[in-house]
Structure 1
Amino acid sequence: MRILIVNVNTTESITQAIAEQARSVAAPGTEIIGLTPRFGAVSVEGNFESYMAAIGVMDAVMAYDQPFDAVIQAGYGEHGREGLQELLDVPVVDITEAGASVAMLLGRSYSVVTTLDRTLPLIEDRLRLAGLDSRCASVRASGLAVLELEQEPERALQAIVEQAELAVSQDRAEVIILGCGGMTGLDQIIRERTGVPVVDGVTAAVTLAQALVRLGLSTSKVRTYAAPRPKTLRGWPLPR
Protein backbone atom coordinates (compact mmCIF):
# COMPACT_ATOMS: atom_id res chain seq x y z
CA MET A 1 0.00 0.00 0.00
CA ARG A 2 1.33 3.44 -0.89
CA ILE A 3 -0.09 6.58 0.74
CA LEU A 4 0.74 10.11 -0.37
CA ILE A 5 0.79 12.63 2.48
CA VAL A 6 0.81 16.17 1.14
CA ASN A 7 1.98 19.14 3.15
CA VAL A 8 -0.09 22.27 2.45
CA ASN A 9 2.88 24.62 2.81
CA THR A 10 6.20 24.73 0.99
CA THR A 11 8.50 24.21 3.99
CA GLU A 12 10.32 20.98 3.24
CA SER A 13 11.36 20.34 6.86
CA ILE A 14 7.68 20.29 7.87
CA THR A 15 6.93 17.82 5.08
CA GLN A 16 9.71 15.57 6.36
CA ALA A 17 8.46 15.77 9.96
CA ILE A 18 4.90 14.96 8.89
CA ALA A 19 6.05 12.00 6.80
CA GLU A 20 8.17 10.63 9.65
CA GLN A 21 5.26 10.86 12.06
CA ALA A 22 3.03 9.12 9.51
CA ARG A 23 5.57 6.30 9.15
CA SER A 24 5.58 5.80 12.92
CA VAL A 25 2.05 4.36 12.79
CA ALA A 26 2.06 2.92 9.28
CA ALA A 27 1.52 -0.83 9.15
CA PRO A 28 4.17 -3.12 7.72
CA GLY A 29 3.90 -2.95 3.94
CA THR A 30 2.56 0.62 3.93
CA GLU A 31 4.82 3.10 2.13
CA ILE A 32 4.47 6.78 3.05
CA ILE A 33 5.45 9.33 0.40
CA GLY A 34 5.69 12.96 1.56
CA LEU A 35 4.93 15.62 -1.05
CA THR A 36 5.62 19.36 -0.89
CA PRO A 37 3.76 21.77 -3.22
CA ARG A 38 6.08 23.48 -5.71
CA PHE A 39 4.41 26.84 -5.07
CA GLY A 40 2.55 28.51 -2.21
CA ALA A 41 3.27 29.96 1.21
CA VAL A 42 6.01 28.76 3.57
CA SER A 43 3.25 28.52 6.20
CA VAL A 44 -0.53 28.59 5.72
CA GLU A 45 -2.28 30.93 8.16
CA GLY A 46 -5.22 32.51 6.38
CA ASN A 47 -7.75 32.17 3.60
CA PHE A 48 -5.60 33.50 0.74
CA GLU A 49 -2.76 31.11 1.59
CA SER A 50 -5.21 28.26 2.12
CA TYR A 51 -6.85 28.66 -1.28
CA MET A 52 -3.40 28.83 -2.89
CA ALA A 53 -2.44 25.70 -0.98
CA ALA A 54 -5.49 23.87 -2.32
CA ILE A 55 -4.25 24.36 -5.89
CA GLY A 56 -0.67 23.54 -4.86
CA VAL A 57 -1.74 20.27 -3.25
CA MET A 58 -3.82 19.20 -6.26
CA ASP A 59 -0.93 20.08 -8.56
CA ALA A 60 1.52 18.03 -6.47
CA VAL A 61 -0.74 14.99 -6.40
CA MET A 62 -1.59 15.10 -10.11
CA ALA A 63 2.10 15.42 -10.99
CA TYR A 64 3.04 12.30 -9.01
CA ASP A 65 3.62 9.66 -11.67
CA GLN A 66 3.58 6.41 -9.65
CA PRO A 67 0.59 4.35 -8.45
CA PHE A 68 -0.84 5.18 -5.02
CA ASP A 69 -3.69 3.89 -2.89
CA ALA A 70 -4.75 6.92 -0.80
CA VAL A 71 -3.99 10.61 -0.24
CA ILE A 72 -3.78 12.53 3.02
CA GLN A 73 -4.09 16.31 2.99
CA ALA A 74 -1.91 17.41 5.91
CA GLY A 75 -3.24 20.86 6.67
CA TYR A 76 -5.52 21.77 9.55
CA GLY A 77 -8.68 23.60 8.51
CA GLU A 78 -7.47 24.07 4.93
CA HIS A 79 -9.44 24.16 1.70
CA GLY A 80 -9.07 21.65 -1.13
CA ARG A 81 -10.09 18.22 0.11
CA GLU A 82 -13.25 18.26 -2.01
CA GLY A 83 -11.30 19.02 -5.19
CA LEU A 84 -9.00 16.08 -4.57
CA GLN A 85 -12.00 13.83 -4.05
CA GLU A 86 -13.38 14.81 -7.45
CA LEU A 87 -10.05 14.24 -9.18
CA LEU A 88 -9.13 10.91 -7.59
CA ASP A 89 -10.58 7.43 -7.40
CA VAL A 90 -8.70 6.56 -4.20
CA PRO A 91 -9.59 7.57 -0.61
CA VAL A 92 -8.76 11.15 0.37
CA VAL A 93 -8.41 11.90 4.09
CA ASP A 94 -8.06 15.38 5.60
CA ILE A 95 -6.24 15.59 8.95
CA THR A 96 -8.82 18.00 10.39
CA GLU A 97 -11.66 15.59 9.84
CA ALA A 98 -9.58 12.54 10.75
CA GLY A 99 -8.57 14.07 14.09
CA ALA A 100 -12.14 14.99 15.01
CA SER A 101 -13.53 11.63 13.92
CA VAL A 102 -11.06 9.76 16.12
CA ALA A 103 -11.53 12.17 19.04
CA MET A 104 -15.28 11.52 19.08
CA LEU A 105 -14.58 7.82 19.64
CA LEU A 106 -12.60 8.68 22.78
CA GLY A 107 -14.74 11.18 24.68
CA ARG A 108 -17.97 13.15 24.75
CA SER A 109 -16.33 16.42 23.68
CA TYR A 110 -13.05 17.56 22.20
CA SER A 111 -11.07 20.77 21.85
CA VAL A 112 -8.60 21.75 19.15
CA VAL A 113 -5.40 23.58 20.06
CA THR A 114 -3.92 25.34 17.06
CA THR A 115 -1.57 28.18 16.12
CA LEU A 116 -2.75 31.75 15.55
CA ASP A 117 -6.11 33.23 16.49
CA ARG A 118 -6.80 34.14 12.86
CA THR A 119 -6.90 30.44 11.91
CA LEU A 120 -9.74 29.61 14.31
CA PRO A 121 -12.54 30.50 11.87
CA LEU A 122 -11.03 28.27 9.17
CA ILE A 123 -10.95 25.30 11.52
CA GLU A 124 -14.43 25.98 12.88
CA ASP A 125 -15.81 26.25 9.35
CA ARG A 126 -14.13 23.01 8.24
CA LEU A 127 -15.53 21.12 11.22
CA ARG A 128 -18.99 22.59 10.61
CA LEU A 129 -18.90 21.72 6.90
CA ALA A 130 -17.92 18.15 7.75
CA GLY A 131 -20.68 17.84 10.37
CA LEU A 132 -18.14 17.33 13.16
CA ASP A 133 -18.70 20.51 15.15
CA SER A 134 -21.52 19.47 17.50
CA ARG A 135 -19.12 17.87 20.00
CA CYS A 136 -16.38 20.47 19.67
CA ALA A 137 -16.02 22.20 23.04
CA SER A 138 -13.63 24.86 21.72
CA VAL A 139 -10.92 25.77 19.26
CA ARG A 140 -8.05 27.50 21.07
CA ALA A 141 -5.08 29.44 19.72
CA SER A 142 -1.61 29.00 21.19
CA GLY A 143 -0.59 32.37 19.73
CA LEU A 144 2.32 30.87 17.80
CA ALA A 145 2.90 31.03 14.06
CA VAL A 146 3.44 27.74 12.24
CA LEU A 147 7.16 28.27 11.73
CA GLU A 148 7.66 29.14 15.39
CA LEU A 149 6.74 25.55 16.24
CA GLU A 150 10.06 24.55 14.67
CA GLN A 151 12.09 27.58 15.64
CA GLU A 152 11.09 27.76 19.32
CA PRO A 153 10.04 24.22 20.32
CA GLU A 154 10.18 24.73 24.10
CA ARG A 155 8.11 27.91 24.02
CA ALA A 156 5.72 26.28 21.57
CA LEU A 157 5.22 23.22 23.75
CA GLN A 158 4.50 25.36 26.82
CA ALA A 159 1.95 27.48 24.96
CA ILE A 160 0.18 24.42 23.56
CA VAL A 161 0.11 22.69 26.95
CA GLU A 162 -1.33 25.80 28.63
CA GLN A 163 -4.19 26.01 26.12
CA ALA A 164 -4.83 22.27 26.32
CA GLU A 165 -5.08 22.47 30.13
CA LEU A 166 -7.52 25.39 29.85
CA ALA A 167 -9.59 23.45 27.32
CA VAL A 168 -9.93 20.59 29.81
CA SER A 169 -10.53 22.70 32.92
CA GLN A 170 -12.62 25.56 31.49
CA ASP A 171 -14.21 24.19 28.30
CA ARG A 172 -14.83 20.69 29.69
CA ALA A 173 -13.05 19.02 26.81
CA GLU A 174 -12.39 15.33 27.31
CA VAL A 175 -10.04 14.93 24.33
CA ILE A 176 -7.47 17.31 22.83
CA ILE A 177 -6.64 17.49 19.12
CA LEU A 178 -3.40 19.00 17.87
CA GLY A 179 -4.64 21.50 15.32
CA CYS A 180 -1.61 21.90 13.06
CA GLY A 181 0.47 19.49 11.02
CA GLY A 182 3.53 21.22 12.47
CA MET A 183 2.53 20.02 15.97
CA THR A 184 2.96 16.42 14.98
CA GLY A 185 4.89 14.37 17.51
CA LEU A 186 3.77 16.36 20.56
CA ASP A 187 0.82 14.16 21.46
CA GLN A 188 2.54 11.96 24.05
CA ILE A 189 3.97 14.74 26.20
CA ILE A 190 0.73 16.75 26.10
CA ARG A 191 -1.20 13.63 27.09
CA GLU A 192 1.09 13.23 30.09
CA ARG A 193 0.61 16.88 31.09
CA THR A 194 -3.18 17.04 30.68
CA GLY A 195 -4.26 13.51 31.61
CA VAL A 196 -6.61 13.21 28.63
CA PRO A 197 -6.30 11.50 25.23
CA VAL A 198 -4.47 13.66 22.68
CA VAL A 199 -5.08 13.05 18.98
CA ASP A 200 -2.53 13.89 16.32
CA GLY A 201 -4.37 14.47 13.04
CA VAL A 202 -1.53 13.05 10.94
CA THR A 203 -1.40 9.66 12.65
CA ALA A 204 -5.19 9.52 12.83
CA ALA A 205 -5.39 10.16 9.09
CA VAL A 206 -2.83 7.46 8.27
CA THR A 207 -4.73 4.91 10.34
CA LEU A 208 -8.05 5.79 8.72
CA ALA A 209 -6.59 5.84 5.21
CA GLN A 210 -5.11 2.37 5.68
CA ALA A 211 -8.45 1.09 6.96
CA LEU A 212 -10.34 2.46 3.96
CA VAL A 213 -7.90 0.87 1.54
CA ARG A 214 -8.11 -2.48 3.31
CA LEU A 215 -11.90 -2.30 3.28
CA GLY A 216 -11.85 -1.61 -0.45
CA LEU A 217 -13.74 1.66 0.07
CA SER A 218 -13.30 5.04 -1.57
CA THR A 219 -15.17 8.28 -2.25
CA SER A 220 -18.70 8.00 -3.61
CA LYS A 221 -18.84 9.26 -7.19
CA VAL A 222 -22.62 9.35 -7.48
CA ARG A 223 -23.10 13.11 -7.06
CA THR A 224 -21.09 15.46 -4.87
CA TYR A 225 -17.63 14.15 -5.74
CA ALA A 226 -18.26 12.95 -9.26
CA ALA A 227 -15.30 13.46 -11.59
CA PRO A 228 -15.13 16.93 -13.18
CA ARG A 229 -17.11 17.20 -16.40
CA PRO A 230 -14.93 17.06 -19.53
CA LYS A 231 -14.26 20.59 -20.70
CA THR A 232 -11.46 22.91 -21.70
CA LEU A 233 -9.48 24.16 -18.71
CA ARG A 234 -7.20 27.04 -19.55
CA GLY A 235 -3.80 26.70 -17.85
CA TRP A 236 -4.47 23.34 -16.20
CA PRO A 237 -2.57 21.17 -15.63
CA LEU A 238 -0.07 23.83 -14.63
CA PRO A 239 3.05 23.99 -16.85
CA ARG A 240 6.14 22.44 -15.30
Structure 2
Amino acid sequence: MRILVVNVNTTETMTQGIRQQAQKVAAPGTEIVALTPRFGAESVEGNFESYLAAVGVMDAVLRYDQPFDAVIQAGYGEHGREGLQELLEVPVIDITEAAASTAMYLGHKYSVVTTLDRAVPMIEDRLKLAGLSERCASVRASGMAVLELEAEPERAVQAIVAQAAEAVSRDHAEVICLGCGGMAELERKVRERTGVPVVDGVASAVTIAEALVRMGLKTSKVRTYAPPRQKRVTGFPLTGL
Protein backbone atom coordinates (compact mmCIF):
# COMPACT_ATOMS: atom_id res chain seq x y z
CA MET A 1 0.00 0.00 0.00
CA ARG A 2 1.29 3.46 -0.90
CA ILE A 3 -0.11 6.59 0.76
CA LEU A 4 0.70 10.12 -0.40
CA VAL A 5 0.98 12.58 2.48
CA VAL A 6 0.96 16.12 1.12
CA ASN A 7 2.16 19.07 3.15
CA VAL A 8 0.06 22.19 2.51
CA ASN A 9 3.02 24.57 2.78
CA THR A 10 6.38 24.73 1.01
CA THR A 11 8.64 24.28 4.06
CA GLU A 12 10.57 21.09 3.34
CA THR A 13 11.62 20.48 6.95
CA MET A 14 7.97 20.43 7.92
CA THR A 15 7.24 17.93 5.15
CA GLN A 16 9.92 15.63 6.53
CA GLY A 17 8.54 15.92 10.05
CA ILE A 18 5.09 15.00 8.78
CA ARG A 19 6.57 12.06 6.88
CA GLN A 20 8.31 10.76 9.99
CA GLN A 21 5.11 10.97 12.03
CA ALA A 22 3.14 9.18 9.30
CA GLN A 23 5.72 6.42 8.89
CA LYS A 24 5.89 5.88 12.66
CA VAL A 25 2.24 4.77 12.81
CA ALA A 26 2.01 3.12 9.39
CA ALA A 27 1.49 -0.63 9.32
CA PRO A 28 4.20 -2.93 7.94
CA GLY A 29 3.94 -2.89 4.16
CA THR A 30 2.59 0.68 3.99
CA GLU A 31 4.84 3.05 2.07
CA ILE A 32 4.58 6.73 2.97
CA VAL A 33 5.45 9.21 0.20
CA ALA A 34 5.63 12.80 1.43
CA LEU A 35 5.10 15.58 -1.10
CA THR A 36 5.82 19.31 -0.88
CA PRO A 37 3.92 21.67 -3.21
CA ARG A 38 6.14 23.32 -5.79
CA PHE A 39 4.46 26.68 -5.14
CA GLY A 40 2.65 28.29 -2.24
CA ALA A 41 3.35 29.92 1.11
CA GLU A 42 6.03 28.77 3.56
CA SER A 43 3.28 28.46 6.17
CA VAL A 44 -0.52 28.53 5.92
CA GLU A 45 -2.26 30.77 8.43
CA GLY A 46 -5.08 32.50 6.56
CA ASN A 47 -7.66 32.09 3.84
CA PHE A 48 -5.56 33.41 0.94
CA GLU A 49 -2.72 31.04 1.81
CA SER A 50 -5.21 28.21 2.32
CA TYR A 51 -6.80 28.58 -1.11
CA LEU A 52 -3.33 28.82 -2.64
CA ALA A 53 -2.39 25.64 -0.77
CA ALA A 54 -5.45 23.85 -2.14
CA VAL A 55 -4.24 24.37 -5.69
CA GLY A 56 -0.64 23.55 -4.75
CA VAL A 57 -1.69 20.25 -3.16
CA MET A 58 -3.82 19.26 -6.18
CA ASP A 59 -0.91 20.14 -8.47
CA ALA A 60 1.52 18.04 -6.41
CA VAL A 61 -0.77 15.00 -6.45
CA LEU A 62 -1.54 15.25 -10.16
CA ARG A 63 2.16 15.51 -10.99
CA TYR A 64 3.02 12.37 -9.02
CA ASP A 65 3.43 9.72 -11.71
CA GLN A 66 3.40 6.47 -9.73
CA PRO A 67 0.42 4.42 -8.47
CA PHE A 68 -0.95 5.23 -4.99
CA ASP A 69 -3.79 3.98 -2.82
CA ALA A 70 -4.80 7.01 -0.73
CA VAL A 71 -3.99 10.69 -0.19
CA ILE A 72 -3.68 12.63 3.05
CA GLN A 73 -3.95 16.41 3.05
CA ALA A 74 -1.68 17.36 5.94
CA GLY A 75 -2.89 20.81 6.89
CA TYR A 76 -5.24 21.86 9.68
CA GLY A 77 -8.39 23.65 8.51
CA GLU A 78 -7.18 24.14 4.95
CA HIS A 79 -9.35 24.09 1.86
CA GLY A 80 -9.02 21.62 -0.99
CA ARG A 81 -10.03 18.17 0.18
CA GLU A 82 -13.23 18.28 -1.89
CA GLY A 83 -11.30 19.19 -5.05
CA LEU A 84 -9.00 16.23 -4.57
CA GLN A 85 -12.01 13.96 -4.11
CA GLU A 86 -13.37 15.06 -7.47
CA LEU A 87 -10.03 14.36 -9.13
CA LEU A 88 -9.35 10.98 -7.50
CA GLU A 89 -11.13 7.71 -6.80
CA VAL A 90 -8.82 6.68 -3.98
CA PRO A 91 -9.68 7.80 -0.40
CA VAL A 92 -8.71 11.38 0.44
CA ILE A 93 -8.30 12.16 4.14
CA ASP A 94 -8.01 15.61 5.69
CA ILE A 95 -6.11 15.65 9.00
CA THR A 96 -8.56 18.09 10.62
CA GLU A 97 -11.44 15.71 10.11
CA ALA A 98 -9.34 12.64 10.89
CA ALA A 99 -8.29 13.98 14.29
CA ALA A 100 -11.77 15.12 15.30
CA SER A 101 -13.50 11.91 14.23
CA THR A 102 -10.88 9.87 16.11
CA ALA A 103 -11.28 12.01 19.23
CA MET A 104 -15.01 11.29 19.34
CA TYR A 105 -14.27 7.62 19.98
CA LEU A 106 -12.26 8.58 23.08
CA GLY A 107 -14.38 11.09 24.96
CA HIS A 108 -17.62 13.06 24.94
CA LYS A 109 -16.09 16.43 23.96
CA TYR A 110 -12.80 17.33 22.31
CA SER A 111 -10.86 20.59 21.93
CA VAL A 112 -8.41 21.65 19.25
CA VAL A 113 -5.26 23.58 20.14
CA THR A 114 -3.86 25.36 17.12
CA THR A 115 -1.38 28.10 16.23
CA LEU A 116 -2.57 31.69 15.70
CA ASP A 117 -6.02 33.02 16.60
CA ARG A 118 -6.75 33.87 12.96
CA ALA A 119 -6.73 30.12 12.18
CA VAL A 120 -9.52 29.42 14.68
CA PRO A 121 -12.45 30.40 12.39
CA MET A 122 -11.02 28.31 9.54
CA ILE A 123 -10.85 25.24 11.76
CA GLU A 124 -14.31 25.88 13.18
CA ASP A 125 -15.72 26.16 9.65
CA ARG A 126 -14.00 22.94 8.53
CA LEU A 127 -15.38 21.04 11.52
CA LYS A 128 -18.87 22.42 10.93
CA LEU A 129 -18.76 21.54 7.23
CA ALA A 130 -17.67 18.01 8.10
CA GLY A 131 -20.45 17.58 10.67
CA LEU A 132 -17.96 17.30 13.53
CA SER A 133 -18.59 20.54 15.41
CA GLU A 134 -21.36 19.35 17.71
CA ARG A 135 -18.92 17.65 20.08
CA CYS A 136 -16.16 20.27 19.82
CA ALA A 137 -15.76 21.97 23.19
CA SER A 138 -13.44 24.68 21.86
CA VAL A 139 -10.78 25.65 19.36
CA ARG A 140 -7.98 27.42 21.20
CA ALA A 141 -5.03 29.38 19.80
CA SER A 142 -1.56 29.03 21.33
CA GLY A 143 -0.41 32.33 19.84
CA MET A 144 2.51 30.60 18.11
CA ALA A 145 2.96 30.97 14.36
CA VAL A 146 3.51 27.79 12.35
CA LEU A 147 7.18 28.55 11.65
CA GLU A 148 7.77 29.35 15.34
CA LEU A 149 6.98 25.73 16.19
CA GLU A 150 10.36 24.87 14.66
CA ALA A 151 12.24 28.07 15.51
CA GLU A 152 11.23 28.26 19.18
CA PRO A 153 10.25 24.72 20.22
CA GLU A 154 10.42 25.24 23.98
CA ARG A 155 8.19 28.31 23.94
CA ALA A 156 5.83 26.49 21.57
CA VAL A 157 5.56 23.54 23.95
CA GLN A 158 4.74 25.82 26.89
CA ALA A 159 2.08 27.75 24.96
CA ILE A 160 0.39 24.67 23.52
CA VAL A 161 0.44 22.72 26.77
CA ALA A 162 -1.00 25.71 28.64
CA GLN A 163 -3.92 26.05 26.21
CA ALA A 164 -4.57 22.31 26.29
CA ALA A 165 -4.78 22.43 30.07
CA GLU A 166 -7.21 25.36 29.86
CA ALA A 167 -9.35 23.43 27.38
CA VAL A 168 -9.65 20.55 29.84
CA SER A 169 -10.24 22.63 32.98
CA ARG A 170 -12.39 25.44 31.57
CA ASP A 171 -14.03 24.03 28.43
CA HIS A 172 -14.54 20.51 29.82
CA ALA A 173 -12.71 18.85 26.94
CA GLU A 174 -11.96 15.17 27.46
CA VAL A 175 -9.67 14.78 24.44
CA ILE A 176 -7.17 17.20 22.87
CA CYS A 177 -6.52 17.40 19.12
CA LEU A 178 -3.22 18.96 18.06
CA GLY A 179 -4.28 21.55 15.49
CA CYS A 180 -1.25 21.68 13.21
CA GLY A 181 0.70 19.09 11.24
CA GLY A 182 3.89 20.38 12.86
CA MET A 183 2.78 19.56 16.42
CA ALA A 184 3.16 15.80 16.24
CA GLU A 185 6.05 15.55 18.70
CA LEU A 186 4.05 17.24 21.46
CA GLU A 187 1.62 14.40 22.17
CA ARG A 188 3.42 13.04 25.23
CA LYS A 189 3.97 16.41 26.90
CA VAL A 190 0.35 17.49 26.44
CA ARG A 191 -0.90 14.14 27.73
CA GLU A 192 1.33 14.31 30.81
CA ARG A 193 0.10 17.83 31.67
CA THR A 194 -3.61 17.27 31.02
CA GLY A 195 -4.16 13.58 31.77
CA VAL A 196 -6.38 13.16 28.70
CA PRO A 197 -5.90 11.39 25.33
CA VAL A 198 -4.08 13.53 22.74
CA VAL A 199 -4.80 12.98 19.05
CA ASP A 200 -2.44 13.86 16.21
CA GLY A 201 -4.13 14.42 12.86
CA VAL A 202 -1.39 12.90 10.71
CA ALA A 203 -1.33 9.66 12.71
CA SER A 204 -5.13 9.47 12.67
CA ALA A 205 -5.30 10.09 8.93
CA VAL A 206 -2.77 7.34 8.16
CA THR A 207 -4.64 4.71 10.16
CA ILE A 208 -8.00 5.75 8.66
CA ALA A 209 -6.58 5.67 5.14
CA GLU A 210 -5.11 2.22 5.70
CA ALA A 211 -8.44 0.92 6.96
CA LEU A 212 -10.38 2.29 3.98
CA VAL A 213 -7.90 0.81 1.52
CA ARG A 214 -7.98 -2.60 3.23
CA MET A 215 -11.78 -2.58 3.08
CA GLY A 216 -11.62 -1.84 -0.63
CA LEU A 217 -13.54 1.44 -0.26
CA LYS A 218 -13.19 4.38 -2.63
CA THR A 219 -14.66 7.85 -3.02
CA SER A 220 -18.25 7.85 -4.27
CA LYS A 221 -18.56 9.31 -7.77
CA VAL A 222 -22.30 9.43 -8.26
CA ARG A 223 -22.91 13.06 -7.28
CA THR A 224 -20.94 15.39 -4.99
CA TYR A 225 -17.47 14.13 -5.94
CA ALA A 226 -18.16 13.20 -9.55
CA PRO A 227 -15.16 13.91 -11.79
CA PRO A 228 -14.86 17.49 -13.10
CA ARG A 229 -16.74 17.99 -16.35
CA GLN A 230 -14.62 17.93 -19.48
CA LYS A 231 -13.86 21.49 -20.55
CA ARG A 232 -10.96 23.69 -21.51
CA VAL A 233 -8.88 24.91 -18.56
CA THR A 234 -6.76 27.92 -19.41
CA GLY A 235 -3.58 29.01 -17.65
CA PHE A 236 -1.23 28.03 -14.85
CA PRO A 237 -0.80 25.65 -13.07
CA LEU A 238 -3.06 22.64 -13.76
CA THR A 239 -3.49 23.02 -17.52
CA GLY A 240 -2.92 19.78 -19.42
CA LEU A 241 -2.74 17.50 -16.38
TM-score interval (norm. to shorter): over 0.9
Structure 1 residue runs without a partner (length 5+): none
Whole-angstrom distance in 2 between the partners of 1:238 and 1:162: 46
| Aligned counterparts of 2:239 and 2:25: Cα–Cα separation in 1 | 34
Q: Distance in 1 between matches of 2:3 and 2:64?
A: 12
Match of 1:230 in 2: 230
SS in 1 for 2:37: coil
Contact 1:102 1:204 in 2 (8 A): yes
CA deviation string 1:93-143 (max 9, x = no partner) = 000000000000000000000000000000000000000000000000000
* Map of 1:78 onto structure 2: 78
* Helix, strand or coil at the partner of 1:5: strand
* Mapping for residues 1-240 of structure 1, pairs under 5 Å: 1-235=1-235, 237-238=238-239
Counterpart residue identity of residue 190, structure 1: V
Distance 1:145 1:181 in 2: 12
Percent sequence identity over aligned pairs? 75
Supply the AA of the counterpart residue of 1:135.
Answer: R
* Alignment check: 8 A CA contact 2:76 2:181 kept: yes
Letter in 2 for 1:58: M
The answer to which of 172-181 and 183-192 deviates more is 183-192
Q: Equivalents in 2 of 1:193, 1:21: separation in Å?
A: 21
1:205 deviation in Å? 0.3
C-alpha contact (below 8 Å) 1:112/1:177 kept by paired residues: yes
Deviations 1:46-79 (A, max 9, x none): 0000000000000000000000000000000000
CA root-mean-square deviation: 1.1
The TM-score normalised by the length of structure 1 is: 0.98
Of residues 139-148 and 230-239 in structure 1, the stretch that sits farther from structure 2 once superposed is: 230-239
Deviations 1:169-197 (CA, angstroms, capped at 9, x unpaired): 00000000000001112112211111000
Q: Which amino acid aligns with 1:128?
A: K
Q: TM-score, normalised by structure 2?
A: 0.98
AA partner of residue 17 (structure 1):
G
SS at match of 2:185: coil
- C-alpha contact (below 8 Å) 1:59/1:238 kept by paired residues: no
CA drift of 1:239 comes to 7.9
Contact 2:6–2:34 (CA under 8 A) maintained in structure 1: yes
Tell me the distance in 1 between the aligned counterparts of 2:75 and 2:31. Answer: 20
Q: Aligned residue pairs: how many?
A: 240
Secondary structure of residue in 1 paired with 2:67: coil
- Conservation of the 8 A alpha-carbon contact between 2:233 and 2:239: no
Shift of 1:219: 1.1
Structure 2: distance between partners of 1:55 and 1:142:
28
Q: Is the 8 A contact 1:185 1:200 kept in 2?
A: no
Residues in 2 aligned to 1:210 and 1:126: alpha-carbon distance in whole angstroms: 23
Q: Deviations over 1:214-238 (max 9, x none)?
A: 0000111110000011111112525
Measured in 2, the distance between the counterparts of 1:233 and 1:108 equals: 46
Amino acid at match of 1:106: L
